[in-house]
Structure 1
Amino acid sequence: MTRFRADDRADGSVAVSIDGVEVLTYVYRSAAEQLESPRPYFHPLRTLAGEVVTQHRPADHVWHAGLAWSLPNVGAHNFWGGPTYVRDEGYVQLPNNGRVDHRGFTAFAADDHGVEIEEQLQWISFDGDPVFTEKRRISVTGGADAWTLVFDTVMRNVTGASIRIGSPSTEGRENAGYGGLFWRGPESMVGGAALVSDGEAAMGSEHPWMAYSADAATVVMVDDRAAPGHSPPWFLRTDDYAGLCPAPFFSEALAVAAGEKVRFRYSVVVADGPSDGARAAALAASATQTDDHDDDDDDKDLP
């Protein structure tokens, strides 16, 4: 039997298994309402022992979707879901919730070494206008007690004008710099420890990686060395809920000019059991990526 398996299901999702254990479901056609900014997401993610490490549509924030590439302040648009933070006004529900549409797979393979998927998507505004085209690469590899997801995205601004990607913090709300590859953990992981190379982490601190350790599982997120603003500030929650996000737009917005591409790449390690600092560092080191893709044609055939 092939170690890795990827099944494209009729419901608009891909299930990935390692040695017969289903570790990942990638929902590429979301059924969420427009208010929740429907977009592809990963849920559930599981350890090799079968422990679920994501939460989808929690009661406090129904637009949180397991693990997802989610951006709250994209010019006038919201690709996060729910209300938008507006400077001097607070959170306001606006008619600006966009969606991210799957346009097709251009690569889809699984063998004894791992899974490689390449997908094309389009970011659409509330009014139905194209904002970005995207090429997304997803790969999965695995070891004895942990497996790794690599998420690689190239987005092109197709609006004809510069777009400013920011966060509630860049709009004036302190310590609310979320936006990017956001992980929402289950209730069972609330109260865990957030670890970095020199101890426990703090909201907004800058690191190349961060680990979230709980009794049943550890999740490590690693920022690629070639990504814009490498070692970004991190958005972090441990008490109200379990949440982790390398947040490149935490304190400074990124302007993407008309026709310009921007690329981000992250590794996410899902490991059995809790971790101390040494194990967390070893998991992060095992997943550290180098920029080994040529992206000269990353926008080829995008809709």
Structure 2
Amino acid sequence: MTAQFTVQHTLGERIALSVEGDSRVEVLSYVYRPDPEPYESRKPYAHPVRTLGGRLVSGYRPNDHRWHKGLQMTASHLSEQNFWGGNSYIHGRGYQRIPERVGWMRHDGFPTLDAAGDRVTVAEDLTWINNGGQEWARERRTLTAHSADPVAGSWALDWSIHLTNVRGEPLRFGSPTTAGREMAGYTGLQWRGPRDFTGARVLTPAGVGTDQDTMGAPAAEAPWLALSSAHDDVDAHSTLVFAHAPENLGPGAVHPSHWFVRAEPVPVVAFSWAFFEEFELPPGESFDYRYRVLVADGAWDVPEVERALAGHRW
């Protein structure tokens, strides 16, 4: 039997989800208030994210990349604007501080907040705005928390995006790699882990590997990957599983996805939708992606990951 979620909404600030077990654990805080620093690309994010055992599995404003904030939707290269945050990669010049390239995402409202006990669904409307104040895209974002299982020690978060171009001309989605930097294809939904996850084990359907083995791997060949690591301070491990919905990998997807993954020097995973090649979204057109993140206590192996994923229908 799955555990129940409780929801606390602090208006104008955040939505917090907790799970009742031996003790009450806040497993997710979704923060939608505007960030104070425009250079970090102000946008909503999920942090802290915790396991059912209370282990922290997200990082916030680390000293190496202040714009990394838990789990957040990003676009590192979008028609010469930066919705990732921080420095922008310019071919031949490297990473440059260009504040006028950094856009942001405005929270417009929550049309749905359905707290149904063992399943919570939050739908959010957002607008993507370039640095000059022009509205470029409308987004309907949906987060669904479900399958909190104290026996398995895990819970699931589904994150979907429906994005529509309202700019009036094509939006070009790319990455540092499409701009000329090899194997730096980060963009899309991005997770930053806590420092405990530095050097984490990387698992895929092919087995245990390294971040370099998996960097740039096509999602069609590896529809999921996981990072597992020991924590500081406590004798415990946690595992994060990142998975694509089946439609992300089929012919209906706007563009093929690849994995961006690092365990060293910092723990980062991104569901990159434009790793090696740009794609365009014409005016008035939309695209959709759905993702799943399993948050688990313990050092899972490949069979455990695959059993857990098979137990959760899309």
TM-score by length of 2: 0.88
Structure-1 separation of matches of 2:130 and 2:70: 22
Which one is further off, 265-274 or 201-210? Answer: 201-210
Task: Specify the alignment match of 1:205 in structure 2.
Answer: 217
- Matching of residues 40-119 of structure 1 within 5 Å: 40-94=44-98, 95-119=100-124
Contact 1:71/1:180 (8 A) holds in 2? yes
The letter for the 2-side match of 1:134 is: E
Q: Which residue of 2 aligns with 1:163?
A: 171
> By how many angstroms is 1:58 displaced?
0.3
For residue 259 of structure 2, what is the aligned residue in structure 1? 234
Question: Does the alignment pair 1:23 with 2:27?
Answer: yes
Match of 1:221 among 233, 238, 242: 242
How far the C-alpha of 1:151 sits from its partner, in A, is 0.4
What is the match of residue 179 of structure 1? 187
Instruction: Render the CA deviation track for 1:146-176: whole Å, top value 9, x for unaligned.
Output: 0000001101111100011010001110010
How many angstroms apart in 2 are the aligned matches of 1:177 and 1:32?
27
Aligned to 1:12: 13
Moved over 4 A (4+): none
1 CA distance for matches of 2:34 and 2:301?
36
Q: Taking structure 1 as reference, are residues 122 and 286 closer, same or farther at Cα in structure 2, changes over 3 Å only?
A: same
Shift in Å at residue 283 of structure 1?
2.7
After TM superposition, the structure 1 stretch with the greater mean CA deviation from structure 2, 64-73 or 226-235, is 226-235
Q: Is the 8 Å Cα contact of residues 150 and 266 (structure 1) preserved in structure 2?
A: yes
Structure 1: 5+ residue runs without aligned partners?
290-303
Contact kept in structure 1, 2:254 and 2:287, CA below 8 Å: no
Report the aligned-residue RMSD.
1.5
Question: Identity of counterpart residues, as a percentage?
Answer: 35
Secondary structure of the residue that 1:226 maps to in structure 2? helix
* Alpha-carbon distance in structure 1 between the residues aligned to 2:256 and 2:166: 28
AA paired with 1:5? T
Q: Distance in 2 between matches of 1:150 and 1:9?
A: 22
| Matched letter for residue 285 of structure 2 | E
| Contact residue 37 and residue 82 of structure 1 kept, 8 A | yes
Rounded Cα–Cα distance in structure 1 between residues aligned with 2:278 and 2:247: 18
What amino acid does structure 2 have at the position aligned with 1:209? W
What SS does the corresponding residue of 1:112 show, helix, strand or coil?
coil
Amino acid at match of 2:137: F
Q: Is the 8 A contact 1:196 1:281 kept in 2?
A: no
Say if 1:235 and 1:246, in contact at 8 Å, map to a contact too.
yes
State the 1:92 CA deviation.
1.9
